Structure 1
Amino acid sequence: MDGATSSSGDERGGVHVLLVPLPAQGHMNPMLQLGRRLAYHGLRPTLVATRYVLSTGPPPGDPFRVAAFSDGFDDGGMASCPDPVEYCRRAEAVGSETLAQVIAAEARAGRTPSVMVYDPHMAWAPLVARAAGVPTAAFMSQSCAVDLIYGEAWSGRAPLPMADGSALRRRGAVSVDLGPEDLPPFVVSPGLYPKYLDVSIRQFEGLEHAGDVLVNSFRDLEPQEAEYMESRWRAKTVGPTLPSFFLDDGRLPSNKAYGVNFFSSAAPCMSWLDRQPPCSVVLASYGTVYNLDAGELDELGNGLCDSGKPFLWVVRSNEARKISQELLGRCEENGLIVPWCPQLEVLAHKAIGLLLDSLWMELNDRSTCCRRANGGDAEVGRPANHGKVRGECMGDRRADADR
């Protein structure tokens, strides 16, 4: 797929917004939900996605038009490049040219973009837009707390390694005490994850030139952190970017799914959950990026089995081959292993009692959905911290302080 290809999106006049997410599921879906809200208010969104992403399934449909560009990994996408720095380097080299072609094609077709919303992990994208005379807005898919930690590291106000969040709290950046276990491991042990640290903090490179900075969070969750992001980076909270159905806001009642799934599964997740008691099931899901070695998978799997609780374990197919036959046999006794699940529907199921998660991308959205559906009884667990300030830390400690 080259250039722009029309879906059934509205072709009428109005503000035309290009949405350019990082081609990872945890980044794309929040931006898609933002696009749906923009369309609700009369704007015309066009999803600009990589050729690989658009090859994995049908386009999202109304209200989106779709345009394709190349990040240099058309055959296997981001997952085919294990080195995040190399991925970003090649994506910039190839993407700068192909994104410029998309913008030019839209203008020739009479759909000149009014603004481009981009993921700041793609720091090269706004340079392309500005060269074409298109204003930009950055959309940060993580919470304010995570964003400000990386922003402070980028600016040098938070020297690395970061032992805890005490300095951040003294400056008024965060409202709760954060221990090393609550911080992204990239800033606690930068030597262990140097390339991921580099990619994480470089999203602030040139951010001051963005016309607007939008954050996938909401002030009621982290008011002090949101205020700090606003004071330092002019950030505005626009989250949580959940499908409207799960927010009870009545705006888009038919919007029940995120819209992009890189994986599919015929496993009967929902029917299996229907057979489990309320709040009894442990959901273990580590997203589309997180990689566990065989030893870590063995430890996690045996821990799930030893819990004595029914569990739904989401393991990507390329990861599942690392699981021993012995462990697979144990898991069959009380659990279900699937390569993918419809996460929002699963989290909203009354059987879910605990979520084990890497806390990598969408914790605010996931925990909001889970707690809404299950009357607040569901918890968010984390056996391994991989780049996210713990959402339960922010919420639970603030609740303790308010008592």
Structure 2
Amino acid sequence: MATRAHCLVLAYPAQGHINPMLQFSKLLERQGVRITLVTTRFYYNNLQTVPPSIALETISDGFDNGGPKEAGGFKPYLERFWEVGPLTFSELLEKHGGSKHVDCVVYDSFFSWAPEVAKRFGIVGAAYLTQNMAVNSIYYHVHLGKLQVPLKQHQFSLPAMPKLYLQDMPSFFFGEDFTFLDFVVSQFSSIHKADWILCNTFYDLDKEIADWIVKVWPQFKTIGPNIPSFFLDKQWEDDQDYGVTEFKSEEHCMEWLDEKPKGSVVYVSFGSMASFGEEQMEEIAWCLRECSSYFLWVVRASEETKLPKDFERKTEKGLVVKWCSQLKVLAHEAVGCFVTHCGWNSTLETLCLGVPTVAVPYWSDQNTNAKLVSEVWKTGTRAVVDEKKVVRRETLKHCINEIMNGCREMKNNAIQWRSLAVRAVTEGGSSYENIKEFVNNLWHS
């Protein structure tokens, strides 16, 4: 071929969105596609690293110096971003010569304006769904008007889905989160304009709903799990991290893990955005102190002041770090359990590495993910909150002990899902073949 196909990958400026899209970009790159990753100017300035083989470009969200904080709130941030983003993305496409030099735009589905901009330049577009298909289906049914807000019933039956209850629904249906709900639902206002619809999941994990949705969206494909190869199929031994991060890892935690017996450590991390109150942090802290297991707890710098004043950050039994390589930790044989907020990336990672989980959902899609983990895939248990929406230490301790001191079923299920995830991305697997088909279509689009 005379020239390589060129994809612009437009990612929403949050680590949980950029990481899987960047991993997908690496898979395309290995099949000969040239990649340019596009993010906002503010987010670009805060990145720690970017893979050298992938070009980087920026657009404006209207707040180049401070991002969402400069906007003073999510709603004004989005309003300005949705005005400025399409204009500056159009300028970027002009700079790259439109369809002469860009063959495809792979865009985060949150950018409902992206397919219209791409079409204006005669460029095909692929929507990339960063959440799982159960959550996408819930939001899609709101878009269709088949789920009414506010929710008035206590249980919900959607096509190809397990029965859902109020506690299983995304947090955006409740309280003051309606702005977020409008935002996540709006991604489906233009989904029909996409030439491909790609989702970071694998067929076996979402089989029933994938079969249902392809009848609605014939262009739908599962292309996940999009995590570094070293932890999945080991096809590329040097692919050991996503290649971009907001936070710097404290690598000494791996040395600490090396000293611990197999399956003896509880790993606790709530991702890059969850921010629990002091009461919840205190309950977690005392649970970990009282548990018989070792623990490794990630507490971001912004959350450290919520720790109890006499809680030691490093002991023989436990270690508190600001950040670490989650994949390396989950892959370590010393880890026997993962206490997680159940963000989709963390959920996929723990499924791919065969580690059973305790789900402590915080917001967004995490309630639904926790439902799937505990009741559908059966790789973990969900910690129940009290009337103040706090998981108490005794509850959390019971969940941890259930995994660490027994329950072979969860551990066996976790190992089986790992095998299916690996199978999906190896030659002949569903995701492997879908990515291959996507790349072949690029050459002929």
TM bucket (normalised to shorter chain) is: 0.7 to 0.9
In structure 1, stretches of 5+ residues that fail to align are 1-11, 372-377
Which residue in the other structure is 1:84 paired with? 74
Offset of residue 249 of structure 1: 5.7
Which residue in the other structure is 2:58 paired with? 68
Q: TM-score, normalised by structure 2?
A: 0.77
Are 1:142 and 2:131 an aligned pair? yes
Offset of residue 291 of structure 1: 1.9
User: Measured at CA, do residues 330 and 31 of structure 1 come closer, stay the same or move farther in structure 2, by a change above 3 Å?
Assistant: closer
Structure 2 distance, partners of 1:307, 1:154, is 45
Asked if 2 retains the 8 angstrom alpha-carbon contact of 1:142 and 1:215, the reply is yes
The letter of the residue matching 1:359 is C
The letter of the residue matching 2:377 is G
The letter of the residue matching 1:60 is V
Offset of residue 98 of structure 1: 1.8
User: Of 178, 181, 187, which aligns to 1:197?
Assistant: 181
Which residue in the other structure is 2:358 paired with? 381
Q: TM-score, normalised by structure 1?
A: 0.85
The letter of the residue matching 1:154 is H
Alignment: residue pair count: 374
Which residue in the other structure is 1:274 paired with? 258
Which residue in the other structure is 2:120 paired with? 131
User: Measured at CA, do residues 363 and 152 of structure 1 come closer, stay the same or move farther in structure 2, by a change above 3 Å?
Assistant: farther
Asked if 1 retains the 8 angstrom alpha-carbon contact of 2:157 and 2:164, the reply is no
Offset of residue 27 of structure 1: 0.6
Offset of residue 56 of structure 1: 2.6
User: Of 277, 289, 292, which aligns to 1:308?
Assistant: 292
Listed one character per residue, the Cα deviations across residues 251-274 of structure 1 (whole Å, up to 9, x for unaligned) are x33211111110013351111111
Asked if 2 retains the 8 angstrom alpha-carbon contact of 1:17 and 1:46, the reply is yes
Kindly report the root-mean-square deviation, in angstroms, between the aligned alpha carbons of the 2 structures: 2.6
Offset of residue 111 of structure 1: 6.4
Which residue in the other structure is 1:394 paired with? 376
Asked if 2 retains the 8 angstrom alpha-carbon contact of 1:240 and 1:364, the reply is no
Offset of residue 156 of structure 1: 1.5
1:285-324 mapped onto 2 (5 Å cutoff): 285-324=269-308
Asked if 2 retains the 8 angstrom alpha-carbon contact of 1:222 and 1:394, the reply is no
User: Measured at CA, do residues 61 and 322 of structure 1 come closer, stay the same or move farther in structure 2, by a change above 3 Å?
Assistant: same
Task: Give 3-state SS (helix, strand or coil) of 2:39's partner.
Answer: strand
The letter of the residue matching 1:336 is L
Offset of residue 26 of structure 1: 0.7
User: Measured at CA, do residues 365 and 13 of structure 1 come closer, stay the same or move farther in structure 2, by a change above 3 Å?
Assistant: same
Offset of residue 301 of structure 1: 2.1
Which residue in the other structure is 1:154 paired with? 143
User: Measured at CA, do residues 342 and 79 of structure 1 come closer, stay the same or move farther in structure 2, by a change above 3 Å?
Assistant: farther
Which residue in the other structure is 1:55 paired with? 45
User: Measured at CA, do residues 256 and 331 of structure 1 come closer, stay the same or move farther in structure 2, by a change above 3 Å?
Assistant: closer
Structure 1 distance, partners of 2:35, 2:152, is 40
Structure 2 distance, partners of 1:130, 1:20, is 15
Structure 1 distance, partners of 2:251, 2:356, is 25
In structure 2, stretches of 5+ residues that fail to align are 380-408, 414-445
Asked if 1 retains the 8 angstrom alpha-carbon contact of 2:340 and 2:357, the reply is yes
Structure 2 distance, partners of 1:304, 1:214, is 39
Asked if 1 retains the 8 angstrom alpha-carbon contact of 2:253 and 2:324, the reply is yes
Structure 1 distance, partners of 2:339, 2:191, is 33
Listed one character per residue, the Cα deviations across residues 351-402 of structure 1 (whole Å, up to 9, x for unaligned) are 111111111231442123330xxxxxx31211235223234233129x99x9
User: Measured at CA, do residues 78 and 336 of structure 1 come closer, stay the same or move farther in structure 2, by a change above 3 Å?
Assistant: farther
User: Measured at CA, do residues 59 and 307 of structure 1 come closer, stay the same or move farther in structure 2, by a change above 3 Å?
Assistant: closer
Structure 1 distance, partners of 2:227, 2:152, is 32
The letter of the residue matching 1:61 is P
Task: Give 3-state SS (helix, strand or coil) of 1:329's partner.
Answer: coil
Which residue in the other structure is 1:238 paired with? 223
The letter of the residue matching 2:171 is P
Structure 2 distance, partners of 1:82, 1:306, is 40
Which residue in the other structure is 2:95 paired with? 105
Which residue in the other structure is 1:173 paired with? 160
